[in-house]
Amino acid sequence: MTSKLKCILLDDELPGLTYLKMLCEQIPEMEIVKVYNDPIKLLAEAPDLDFDLGIFDIEMPQINGLSVAQLLGNKPVIFTTAYREFAVDAFEIDAIDYITKPIKKERLEKAIQKALKLISPTEQSTFMTVNSNKGKAVLQFESILHIKPSDSDPRDKVVMLADGSTLILKNISLEKIGKDLPVKDFCRINKSEIIALKIVSFFNHDEIITTLLTEAKKPLTLTLGVHFKSDFLSKI
């Protein structure tokens, strides 16, 4: 497969489908194979189509997008819908992402970048090189557990490592760190923190209980931000 994602689009409402197609055509990493406003026709033609990703509306009169995705088997899907209540169902069938309407180009681009990393991963590095309080540091991804701003200077970030030690990364943003980390293993959970998914023990609608311990030897509990919840649910 090339670096472009071959996509099919499905929305029973023509204005919405036209708008989605227009947005997709503005994203260089995408190639539109075919667009459908009839899910039955899509299912009939899908076995003969060469595509990597489906972008499907959920609420449709004949058969909803969730059922279409299940009938297609293991094809990756991004769902679009005006109804937030479908989010849990979408992620139960391993959707790459779930975008609520009206769709914004920036939000669609974020979903496509996630799809690119999951569907066509390139040869990934196992480490990142960063400036730290101890000089240039080579951080192995597998050793990183938790990242948060430094109390003394929020421009710096404190990294908790698997051996129990910490390292201060100098003058670096969470956005920059997040771009270097493997997307399938790490998640930004709020405006201030990134975690390795392997430390998650339990979670609910606004909290994550981790395997890390506080100074009082109790499980470290972190806040799950509302704007980061869908990304977290799609990975966990």
Q: Could you give the CA distance from residue 1 to residue 225 in angstroms, rounded to a whole number?
A: 35
SS (H, E, C) 132-184: EECEEEEEEHHHEEEEEECCCCCCCEEEEECCCCEEEECCCCHHHHHHHCCCC
Least confident of 8-17, 112-121, 163-172, 224-233: 112-121
Predicted confidence at residue 93, as pLDDT, reads 62
Beta 5-10 vs 53-57: how paired, if at all?
parallel
Domain 127-235 has CATH 3.10.20.740: no
List the domain boundaries for the chain.
5-119, 127-235
Q: Find, among 4, 12, 64, the residue nearest to 38 by Cα.
A: 12
Q: Which of 1-15, 98-112, 115-129 has the highest mean pLDDT?
A: 98-112
- Please, which pLDDT band fits residue 60 given cuts at 50, 70 and 90? confident
Average of per-residue pLDDT across 124-152: 92
Confidence check: pLDDT of 74 > 80: no
- Please, which pLDDT band fits residue 1 given cuts at 50, 70 and 90? very low
Least confident of 22-26, 115-119, 197-201, 216-220: 115-119
Predicted confidence at residue 137, as pLDDT, reads 92
Q: Could you give the CA distance from residue 56 to residue 63 in angstroms, rounded to a whole number?
A: 12
Contacts of 15 (CB under 8 A, 6+ apart): none
Q: Could you give the CA distance from residue 151 to residue 48 in angstroms, rounded to a whole number?
A: 57
- Please, which pLDDT band fits residue 194 given cuts at 50, 70 and 90? very high
Predicted confidence at residue 124, as pLDDT, reads 58
Calculate the average pLDDT of the chain.
Answer: 89
Angle at which helix 105-119 crosses helix 14-25, to 10 degrees, equals: 70
Per residue in 29-53, pLDDT (tens digit) is 899 999 999 999 999 999 888 899 9
Average of per-residue pLDDT across 11-31: 93
The residue that leads in pLDDT, 126 or 108, is: 108
Domain 5-119 has CATH 3.40.50.2300: yes
SS (H, E, C) 203-228: ECCCEEEEEEECCCCCEEEEECCHHH
Predicted confidence at residue 91, as pLDDT, reads 56
